Amino acid sequence: MNFSKLLKYLNHHIVTKQSVTRKIIRFNNRKEFQSCLRQIKKLKPSLSKLSHIQPIGIIHAISCPLHSSNNLISHPAIRFIEKDTKIKMHSPTNFAPIETELKSSIPWGVQEIKAPQVWKYTKGDGIKISVIDTGVDFNHPDLKERLRRGFNFIFPHMPPWDDNGHGTHIAGTIAASNEKMGIVGTAPQAELYPIKAFDHRGTAYSSDIIQAIEWSIRNQMNIINMSFGMSNRSQSLLDAIKQANELGIITVASSGNDGKKENVDYPARFTPTISVGATSTKKRLASFSNKGKNIDIYAPGERIFSTWPNRKYVELNGTSMATSHVSGIVALMLSINPKLSPVKIKTILKKTGTPLSNSTSKKNIPKEINAIRAIRAVKKLKTK
């Protein structure tokens, strides 16, 4: 199929200003997508703005900054076009730097979910977790042993260094492993692959997240941690998550910090993900956490003490922090039985959670994740 007319249109309408809306253009199939890519490569020397086109192989699509896409819809190779939505990481509701000399410490959240009690069986050995976030501090002593190379989608030729702090905090709760002079995370033998999809302001496009999911599939991750969200639904993002899910990759996502009832952000709202809400230090639903039947499991999200860039530590509140606890427990489960499907993992977590006391619902009683019960269920399954 000839795409020259389409590509000339794109070259004319692509705008390089940062404030312009981006579009995801989906092709009918892989063959047409690859044909278009070949013609982009051929025409780039004469149509310079085509260099701003971002291929997204996992969903047979391209993303680019466009003023208008109205005249593209009739092209026979195009399946549909949707807005490449901006996504914000779920910003913490507080920020409390801790300036103290640390001795070995297991943060209260890790203790609350009873992770230390199952470390005699597993510490998450060999489980690969991609953390799609702002990157990580590779020099932090509590994380150094657990970190693998990962990838940087903001600056592809650089390692995924954290210029925000959020990603480093998430990584610490999942798998920090400094037993001598730092903190210990939920799964202290898991492998962390930081993927920097968010800039220093904590902002990304949905196409960046989709590419991060594609990287996770290609590099055979077991778990994808997604501590971010948006209110708009993206079919392209759902399709990428579905592909990961079908390949057995567990996706864990934060529900949002708006304190809303019966409302959950995307991608946590998508059925294939494990959607996570937050509990407080008093073992109750956290006031800032989104709540409702669309949340699969809750975990500690208030005053969560974890790693921060420049060898520091901070306490943060948020469903992002809750999500990292859940990713850690899933790693413990998979290290005992790597064949557990995403559906089975979610079912076990929901069945084995500890009911929360301040629920107003009788049908959908919210539960906090419980490592002892979850691991016991996994071990029982394995012996059958």
Q: What is the pLDDT of residues 73-131, one digit of tens each?
A: 678 999 999 999 999 888 777 776 665 556 568 999 999 999 999 999 999 999 999 99
The fold of the 4-84 domain, in CATH, is: Alpha-Beta Plaits (3.30.70)
SS3 label, residue 376: helix
- Reported as a single tens digit per residue, the pLDDT across 154-168 is 999 999 999 999 999
* Selection from 79, 135, 115, 265 nearest residue 188 by Cα: 115
Identity of the amino acid at 233: R
Catalytic residue numbers read 133, 166, 320
Q: How confident is the model at residue 359 (pLDDT cuts 50, 70, 90)?
A: low
How are strands ordered across the β-sheet holding 151-152?
151-152, 191-196, 128-133, 223-226, 250-254, 274-279, 297-300, 367-368, 354-355
* For the chain, percent of residues with pLDDT exceeding 90: 80
User: CATH 3.40.50.200: does it fit domain 88-383?
Assistant: yes
pLDDT digits (tens, 9 = 90+) for 255-303: 999 998 888 999 999 999 999 999 999 999 999 999 989 999 999 999 9
Q: Is it the case that residue 72 has pLDDT exceeding 90? A: no
Helices (H), the chain: 4-13, 30-43, 108-112, 166-175, 206-218, 235-246, 319-336, 342-352, 371-383
Report pLDDT for 294. Answer: 92
Q: If you compute the radius of gyration of the chain from its CA atoms, what whole number of angstroms results? A: 21
**Which residues belong to CATH 3.40.50.200 in the chain?**
88-383
d(CA 147, CA 196): 13
> Does the pLDDT at position 178 exceed 90?
no
Q: Measuring CA to CA, which residue among 146, 142, 144, 148 is closest to residue 179?
A: 142
Is 362's pLDDT higher than 70?
no
Sign of the CA dihedral running 370, 194, 289, 304 = positive
**Amino acid identity at 163:** D
Tell me the pLDDT of the chain averaged across its residues.
92
CB 193 within 8 A of CB 149: yes
pLDDT at 369 over 70: yes
Contact indicator for 24, 81 with CB cutoff of 8 Å: yes
Treating both helix axes as pointing N-terminal to C-terminal, what angle do 342-352 and 319-336 enclose, rounded to 10 degrees?
110
- Check whether 384 has a pLDDT greater than 70: no
The count of residues in the chain is 384
- Delimit the CATH 3.30.70 region(s) of the chain: 4-84
pLDDT score, position 2? 83
